[in-house]
Structure 1
């Protein structure tokens, strides 16, 4: 016997949870399939929890800005506007300021600082830098709290969550998708792929080519500091090194572009190049001790242009993608939930123009590249 619904959402991370809530809010019968034994066990639960509006593509700016507005109203989100500080190298300063102009034109707050003023929070070596930008509405949230609250809201509206339910294969049969899983068969006219780092594999099991692959990321944590620090998540754009205060500690990291695929566990060999990059800009990092037990790892879900894939799959009836966020899923989930409900119920998303993020862009000669990737 197959279980039927109006929409089947694959993945119960923060994106799938937000989409399920908004779809159920529109009166649809929704079922969420999650391969893990609990929700928010993938990228959501392993996120560094930052939210920011400082992007270079309009769609990304608006996705984050609309989401931040929603998180501000959610006690479960734990939103704290601690800010993001970008330290910008000389060769990128002109293009970075064009990004600031775009952000301000879209109505989001961004401030420009000289190098001396930017050291109001943390000291750094200014060599090679031209200036800094600060987003006062940027900050941190509780991704797990947001995800669980969206799931609670979805279930209160009739949505059903099926844990330990791995998608094995999917095929279109007439007007319905049939999904064979480890817990039986499900049928629905619409499938929403919100499987995070597994979104590419979910596509393959449906016979679809969805260019999303996992990329492992390390988040290192210091031992408790003698005196806790406060300030923004700070990013040195010349190296990609970032850090932010987290309670009595600092957490920090730097993406390894070669670390792709489903490798598991901490890559301690990446600590040395990460610290080398950090100490060049922040020499005081040399005095900090590391806490191995407080450090963790997780997956980004990356696309070729580091932008998400949103909306109907071209040439495939009833398949919708909301995946490939390349590290930005937590900060954009609230808006994506609303957009996917519009896309599925109304036929097209309206809240934000997502045409630049649709699958069709991969067939064009030029792809929009988001420059602010951390």
Structure 2
């Protein structure tokens, strides 16, 4: 006979979205929560992320939600004691067309309380030591942006949850969502049944397959993206750098290594596979700006998925026609930075029936059903 566990809320996925949702449910007074993770917490996209946190997006929804998420990142880092820094983002611009586009983006950011601004080459040199600026016209500076240590952040949240009595079940795979008519009633796992009237699916690239078990087909696509980290180096500069022309990024971690990524063409649903052409491209981009990097060794290389939605925005909130079923998926590479606000929004959907931020309500599955897509252009790496 298979074991049965009963709870109030079952969360599938032990990454930042799932753990943050459990965190905010506990803060709101929901005490009986179970998190199910098929491997170990953070083993999906969370521990493969580039650590960056920004509000410099192109849509109102992303700008507003990330402005709030940034405030939560600061508060959570102070409460839980993990590494977080507002070192900024510097978007390197090389021509007049980019300048025109980013000047308009800055106007949009400013209208929603995000103080980005166009800065000169001289300002770039002050922010980024020993940068070669010969190919730079100017830059967009996002001073609210920054970075957090994903390992410290997730483990500190998980520690808080365990102390509050939340059960985090690792090496337990959710295989099917259970329903009784229009009502969700739990989750079938490799270790037995978990009964509960509320199920949150925040399982990254496996979300689509799980919700198909209740006949909902989320339009999500898994696209491989690549990243590399160098050996540790002395502290060089604080901002995360973005080369607008190539969609490449570079950031120095708290431990000293430089994480780098760049855009290369990949097939949807392809197996994550290392590629030599990625290494050549990402190295050539950043050696152009930081010639001294040619003397730094690559330490580790990994490939993960960006779970892409049709409009590069996440799907957050209840799913139609199935009471008690919620989803957080399709972050298109931005799941880590959005983690705190996503957990808060989902807790509000579950407890209050709607999110406190109007822009968040626009990111529910309803927009997909109605064809009211909200396109985000600032997807990098």
TM-score for the superposition, normalised by structure 2: 0.88
Q: Which residue of 2 aligns with 1:102?
A: 108
* Aligned-residue offset at 1:245: 2.4
Within 5 Å, give how 1:139-178 maps onto structure 2.
Answer: 139-174=146-181, 175-178=183-186
Q: Is residue 2:46 matched to residue 1:47? A: no
Match of 2:35 among 18, 32, 38: 32
Q: Is residue 2:322 matched to residue 1:316? A: yes
The alpha-carbon distance between structure 1 residues 24 and 248, as it changes in their structure 2 partners (threshold 3 A), is closer
Within 5 Å, give how 1:14-25 maps onto structure 2.
Answer: 14-25=16-27
- Which string of whole-angstrom CA distances, capped at 9 and with x for unpartnered residues, describes residues 243-297 of structure 1? 1223444321103341532624533342123334445x52726733432x33333
Give the Cα separation in 2 of the matches to 1:365 and 1:269: 37
* Aligned-residue offset at 1:201: 2.0
Q: Which residue of 2 aligns with 1:85?
A: 90
The alpha-carbon distance between structure 1 residues 250 and 153, as it changes in their structure 2 partners (threshold 3 A), is closer
Give the Cα separation in 1 of the matches to 2:175 and 2:274: 28
Give the Cα separation in 2 of the matches to 1:65 and 1:179: 34
Q: Which residue of 2 aligns with 1:347?
A: 353
Q: Which residue of 2 aligns with 1:71?
A: 73
Match of 1:62 among 61, 64, 67: 64
Within 5 Å, give how 1:143-222 maps onto structure 2.
Answer: 143-174=150-181, 175-222=183-230
Aligned partner of residue 178 in structure 1, secondary structure? strand
Partners of 1:79 and 1:142 within 8 A in 2: yes
Partners of 1:20 and 1:151 within 8 A in 2: no
Partners of 2:224 and 2:266 within 8 A in 1: no
Large movers: runs of 4+ above 6 Å: none
The alpha-carbon distance between structure 1 residues 18 and 223, as it changes in their structure 2 partners (threshold 3 A), is closer
Comparing 191-200 and 62-71, the one that deviates more: 62-71
Number of residue equivalences: 369
Comparing 326-335 and 88-97, the one that deviates more: 88-97
TM-score for the superposition, normalised by structure 1: 0.90
Comparing 45-54 and 194-203, the one that deviates more: 194-203
Partners of 1:200 and 1:209 within 8 A in 2: yes
Give the Cα separation in 2 of the matches to 1:126 and 1:312: 50
Comparing 196-205 and 41-50, the one that deviates more: 196-205
Give the Cα separation in 2 of the matches to 1:362 and 1:258: 24
* Aligned-residue offset at 1:130: 5.0
* Aligned-residue offset at 1:51: 0.7
* Aligned-residue offset at 1:106: 1.8
Q: Is residue 2:4 matched to residue 1:2? A: yes
Give the Cα separation in 2 of the matches to 1:181 and 1:261: 24
- Which string of whole-angstrom CA distances, capped at 9 and with x for unpartnered residues, describes residues 19-52 of structure 1? 011112323221111111x211111111111111
- Which string of whole-angstrom CA distances, capped at 9 and with x for unpartnered residues, describes residues 51-87 of structure 1? 1111111221222222222222324331112211012
Within 5 Å, give how 1:358-369 maps onto structure 2.
Answer: 358-365=364-371, 367-369=373-375
Give the Cα separation in 2 of the matches to 1:259 and 1:126: 35
Aligned partner of residue 215 in structure 2, secondary structure? coil
Match of 1:256 among 256, 261, 264: 264
Partners of 2:355 and 2:361 within 8 A in 1: no
Q: Which residue of 2 aligns with 1:119?
A: 125
Partners of 1:57 and 1:370 within 8 A in 2: yes
* Aligned-residue offset at 1:103: 1.6
